[in-house]
Chains A and B, each alone.
Chain A
Amino acid sequence: MAIELNSQRMENIPITKIGVIGLPNSGKTQVYNYLTGTYNVVANSLLTTIEYKKTLCEIDGHACEITDTPGLHELYVQSHEEASTREYILSENPDIIIMCMDSTRLKQSLNLAIDLLELGKPLIIALNALDETNRRGIWLDSKKLLHFLRVPVIETIALNGQGIDELKEALFKTRGIKFEFQYDQTIEDGITQIMDRLPANIQNQRKIATLVLMNDSYILDYLIRVNEISQTDIEEINTCVKKTQQNFPGNINRVINTRRSQWVDDIANEVIQKQNIRPYEVEKTIARLCRKPSTGIPILLLIVYIMYLAVVNLANVLASWMDETLWVPISNVINSFISPGFFNDFLIGDYGILSLGLANAFITVLPILSVFFIIYNTLEDIGYIPNLCILTKRLFEKVGLSGASVMPLVLGFGCKTMATLTTKSLTSKRERYIAIYLIAFAIPCAAQMGLNISILGRMGFQAFAITFFVLSIAEISAGMILNLLLKREEKGDFIQELPPIRLPVPKAVLVKTYYRLIWFLEEALPVFIYAAVAMFILDKTGLLMASKIFLSPVIEGWLGLPLEMVDALILCMARHEAAAGLIIKLIQQDMLNWVQCIVAVTITTMFIPCFANIVAMAKELGVFKTIIMTICINASAFFLAGCLNWALILIF
């Protein structure tokens, strides 16, 4: 009843739609988090938000639906992801737009501001990253900006939440203004002609007509899909466009863009004040050192080594301490109450829901992940990871990938699912295919990386080095083979913005780590427990033993692993982290030696990608291709791990 009442009440209350829009990496999600009181991952990187998120909340007594959007450069879009953000703006019609203006990139931001102003919607500007601009010796006069744009301009520092209260206060006072560029008469005529052919009920007609005239590749598709314009109308519009382009001496896009840039330059010249002496920018030097091969590779190796040391010396110690102080007493208590038998097995046996489910998640995996995530999140907030794509570009180019697809691959070290979704930004189909395959194949995601280090750390640094060397060789050769197999296409252009190097804020890193761990538990804990139950049933019914006997030629013969690894591989299908816990247990029971440990980690890293990743792949490629890809990945995983096993036995 209460729920019904609530929903009825919600229907009666007018909901204000608010869209947060801005350039990539301009702090949209940070502002969104402050406004809604929720948490979404924020990082000093592009492509952090790839799908828009909505939250209902209350601001200033109004019910609001706030939407966080992926980054956008202008309404004239180049890629599929930008097109989806534009579609949100054009079709969902937010009542108020909050624009995050990155003050370090004022001109780029103003270029987007023109588009948002032209929509005539109430607009409010959050002038972000002012502290950073000041550090670069640049001052912005926000009053002058207000004077030129005629919409509220609020100075904010999203990192620590400064200015958010003022933003909330001003939010409902802002009004839409009329803002239009007048172009040459020929262009104006063309725009009017196209507007006449658009259905009368759609909004932002002038903007849409201008986009059509500029030959935007996604706008006609949008008109057909969303506004259901008939084919004949589209043809008429196309003839209009052609005629205008013929009548106009020159390139219409150029003329419109020049007009816009003049406006941007005029404002920027008034607003920006630079000091004469340029401050020495440590960040720039660091970024350069990270990107140059001669210094970048040692830095990368150093970072990996630090990660290794931290996980081995901190996380592993923490995990074993928790095991002793928490798990041992609990299992003792259970043992004293329940005598060995079915229920004892069900709770704390080899496949018990407490031992393989809860303890595995909380006591084995969680400490390792928390230490690893702190390091990874720090790197992410520094902005190191996107800069890696410059360092590794040459390598990936040899594999047949253009520079543009290196970014998704590098992001794969964070979360493979997200990285798979970012391949949307690649124009070439072939590159997308290669990138998606390589992401799913031998790249360990952040959680897997942490656990791999923890497992291999027990065997010494050499094991770790060998495994990652083998994984990178596998990755590179997979890329080379795909490169030979797939038909050649024209390479996409590589024009990539890089985030600035920033000093990470400890609080932000800790908050992010906290949320990542909570999300891990929310997502993985049920999976861990279900998997434990499933394993328990398989074990009790004898199916597990049967499958072990069936698989023994492959596992024992080819891979040289103990039969218990079958458990790990089955768990791998549910969740990679669960398998890692089992491998650690096998090591503790001395059932895996040095070579076996390397083979086990290699195969679990390459074996079937996690479920979320498969779903993302299906979304990008279609079900059929995904199935083929998964089979290929698994087959090559078994093949390569077996080869590795024999090679290691021969060498050592």
Chain B
Amino acid sequence: MIKATEKEEYLEKLWNMKENNADDINQLTSAMNSDSNSSVIQEMLVENLIIINNDKVAFTDTGEEKARKIIRAHRLAERLIFDALGGDYESGACEFEHIVNSELVDSICILLGHPRECPHGRPIPEGDCCKSAVKTAECAVMPLTEMEPQQSSRVAYVNGYQKESRLNKIDDLQIRSGVMIRMEQKKPAIVIQCEGADIALDDNVASDIYVWKECTRYRSKFEDSDIKAPDCVPPKRFGFMRRARFGRKACNQGCNNG
């Protein structure tokens, strides 16, 4: 009996290949580099997860659904580890994808505000929660458009898969995970301050930029820098985890400074 995780690794690899428009069975087997190649593939065929036709491998519907769930879990996990914990996302996420069930994955997705892509920039498949755009109190991030004027916050992530040029432009201006930005005004166009520069944005660009709610505060006499943020726990120091464990009390004490 082949372990379920091994099959899942195959499905994951195949999904990645599909994203690159590759479907050669040999590429799949050589990429996995495993001794039990043929038997795993055989079992997957028996379980009706994939079909092979002239060395071309394709998902069946059940296989695709399964792979989709795995990829979703993996990439959301990367997002979580990268944004919230600031850690090495690759190693953790690989274990993660085999453990979690889909409810847990959905709650992570809601918590992170339905991110569209992983830290590598690959798309995260949509779950049911994304389609109905569930917003609950637990959602820890919000799009830039929901910030109030004079508020400051830390950028969580920027969505922008397949919008390479926009993403690069945003990156040029140093709007990226971890930087503090301040909303200067919202009308007639959004103007934010980021790293010393005033930047005007369209609403549709701004709605792709997500900020941490926990860090949001009104402009106080304190400068919004990394050093002078006693009232805002940077996500890198497991602030997110602590809040999850002790509820929102610890965070609220610090955040409502303004």
Interface residues of A (CB under 8 A from B): 73-74, 76, 78, 104-108, 111, 133, 136-138, 215, 217, 245-246, 249-251, 253-255, 257, 261, 264-265, 269, 272, 274-278, 284, 287-288, 291-293, 389-391, 393-394, 402-403, 493-500
Whether B168 lies near A269 (C-beta < 8 A) is no
**Contact indicator per residue, chain B 192-230, by CB within 8 Å of chain A (1) or not (0):** 010111111110110000000000000001110111100
Given the known inter-chain contacts A250-B121, A261-B176, A493-B169, please indicate yes or no for A498 contacting B198, CB distance below 8 A: yes
CA distance in complex: A164, B228 (Å): 34
Whether B199 lies near A496 (C-beta < 8 A) is yes
Report A-chain residues with C-beta under 8 Å of the C-beta of B164: 215, 253
CA distance in complex: A351, B172 (Å): 57
Report B-chain residues with C-beta under 8 Å of the C-beta of A291: 185, 188, 191
Chain B residue nearest in CB terms to A250: B120
Given the known inter-chain contacts A402-B202, A494-B189, A498-B191, please indicate yes or no for A249 contacting B120, CB distance below 8 A: yes
Q: What are 13 A-B contacts defined by CB distance under 8 Å?
A: A250-B118, A257-B176, A276-B223, A284-B184, A284-B193, A390-B191, A393-B200, A403-B200, A403-B202, A493-B169, A495-B202, A496-B200, A497-B198
Whether A78 lies near B189 (C-beta < 8 A) is no
CA distance in complex: A500, B223 (Å): 18
Report B-chain residues with C-beta under 8 Å of the C-beta of A393: 188-189, 200
Q: Which of B147-184 contact A (CB under 8 A)?
A: 164-174, 176, 178, 184
Whether B174 lies near A108 (C-beta < 8 A) is yes
Whether A107 lies near B174 (C-beta < 8 A) is yes
Whether A254 lies near B121 (C-beta < 8 A) is yes
Chain B residue nearest in CB terms to A383: B198
Whether B188 lies near A390 (C-beta < 8 A) is yes
Among A104, A269, A495, point to the contact of B169 (Cβ < 8 A): A495
Chain A residue nearest in CB terms to B201: A495
Given the known inter-chain contacts A495-B169, A496-B200, please indicate yes or no for A390 contacting B189, CB distance below 8 A: yes
Whether B221 lies near A73 (C-beta < 8 A) is no
CA distance in complex: A245, B166 (Å): 20
How many chain B residues touch A (Cβ–Cβ < 8 Å)? 45
CA distance in complex: A261, B177 (Å): 10
Extra A-B contacts (11), CB below 8 Å, given A215-B164, A390-B189: A104-B197, A108-B197, A111-B172, A217-B165, A253-B121, A265-B178, A274-B228, A288-B185, A292-B187, A390-B191, A495-B169
Chain A residue nearest in CB terms to B221: A277
Chain B residue nearest in CB terms to A389: B200
CA distance in complex: A472, B63 (Å): 62
Report A-chain residues with C-beta under 8 Å of the C-beta of B205: 493-495
Whether B189 lies near A251 (C-beta < 8 A) is no
CA distance in complex: A217, B164 (Å): 11
Report A-chain residues with C-beta under 8 Å of the C-beta of B237: none
B119 contacts A by Cβ under 8 Å: yes
Whether B166 lies near A493 (C-beta < 8 A) is yes
Whether B223 lies near A255 (C-beta < 8 A) is no
Q: Which of B217-258 contact A (CB under 8 A)?
A: 221-223, 225-228
**Which of the listed residues B178, B225, B226 has the most CB atoms from chain A within 10 Å of its own CB?**
B225
Report A-chain residues with C-beta under 8 Å of the C-beta of B26: none
CA distance in complex: A269, B167 (Å): 24
Closest Cβ–Cβ distance, residue B36 to chain A (whole Å)? 22
Chain A residue nearest in CB terms to B195: A107
Whether B121 lies near A278 (C-beta < 8 A) is no
CA distance in complex: A254, B121 (Å): 7
Report A-chain residues with C-beta under 8 Å of the C-beta of B169: 78, 493, 495
Closest Cβ–Cβ distance, residue A524 to chain B (whole Å)? 36
Report A-chain residues with C-beta under 8 Å of the C-beta of B188: 291, 293, 390-391, 393-394
Among all A-B residue pairs, the 3 with the closest Cβ atoms: A250-B120, A251-B121, A494-B202
Report B-chain residues with C-beta under 8 Å of the C-beta of A390: 188-189, 191, 200
Whether B174 lies near A495 (C-beta < 8 A) is no
Closest Cβ–Cβ distance, residue B169 to chain A (whole Å)? 5
Report B-chain residues with C-beta under 8 Å of the C-beta of A499: 198
Closest Cβ–Cβ distance, residue A398 to chain B (whole Å)? 11
Whether B197 lies near A497 (C-beta < 8 A) is yes
B135 contacts A by Cβ under 8 Å: no
Whether B20 lies near A495 (C-beta < 8 A) is no
CA distance in complex: A158, B221 (Å): 30
CA distance in complex: A278, B174 (Å): 22
Chain A residue nearest in CB terms to B17: A246
B56 contacts A by Cβ under 8 Å: no
Report B-chain residues with C-beta under 8 Å of the C-beta of A245: 20
Report A-chain residues with C-beta under 8 Å of the C-beta of B189: 390, 393, 403, 494
CA distance in complex: A106, B195 (Å): 8
Closest Cβ–Cβ distance, residue B232 to chain A (whole Å)? 15
B16 contacts A by Cβ under 8 Å: yes
Report B-chain residues with C-beta under 8 Å of the C-beta of A403: 189, 200, 202
Report B-chain residues with C-beta under 8 Å of the C-beta of A269: 226
Whether A111 lies near B174 (C-beta < 8 A) is yes
Whether B198 lies near A249 (C-beta < 8 A) is no
CA distance in complex: A110, B195 (Å): 12
Report B-chain residues with C-beta under 8 Å of the C-beta of A104: 196-197
Report A-chain residues with C-beta under 8 Å of the C-beta of B185: 288, 291-292
Among B172, B196, B222, B227, point to the contact of A74 (Cβ < 8 A): B172
Report B-chain residues with C-beta under 8 Å of the C-beta of A494: 189, 200-202, 205
Given the known inter-chain contacts A274-B228, A393-B188, please indicate yes or no for A287 contacting B119, CB distance below 8 A: no
Chain B residue nearest in CB terms to A260: B171
CA distance in complex: A261, B172 (Å): 10
Given the known inter-chain contacts A391-B188, A495-B169, please indicate yes or no for A278 contacting B195, CB distance below 8 A: no
Report B-chain residues with C-beta under 8 Å of the C-beta of A217: 165
Whether B199 lies near A137 (C-beta < 8 A) is no
Among A78, A265, A284, A394, point to the contact of B168 (Cβ < 8 A): A78
Chain B residue nearest in CB terms to A404: B202
Chain B residue nearest in CB terms to A394: B188
Given the known inter-chain contacts A261-B176, A293-B188, please indicate yes or no for A276 contacting B228, CB distance below 8 A: yes
Whether A275 lies near B196 (C-beta < 8 A) is no
B133 contacts A by Cβ under 8 Å: no
Report B-chain residues with C-beta under 8 Å of the C-beta of A249: 16, 120
Report A-chain residues with C-beta under 8 Å of the C-beta of B200: 389-390, 393, 403, 494-498
Closest Cβ–Cβ distance, residue A277 to chain B (whole Å)? 6
CA distance in complex: A387, B48 (Å): 61
**Which of the listed residues A138, A253, A278 has the most CB atoms from chain B within 10 Å of its own CB?**
A278
Chain B residue nearest in CB terms to A283: B198
B100 contacts A by Cβ under 8 Å: no
Closest Cβ–Cβ distance, residue A25 to chain B (whole Å)? 9
Chain A residue nearest in CB terms to B204: A493
Closest Cβ–Cβ distance, residue B130 to chain A (whole Å)? 21
Report B-chain residues with C-beta under 8 Å of the C-beta of A261: 171, 174, 176
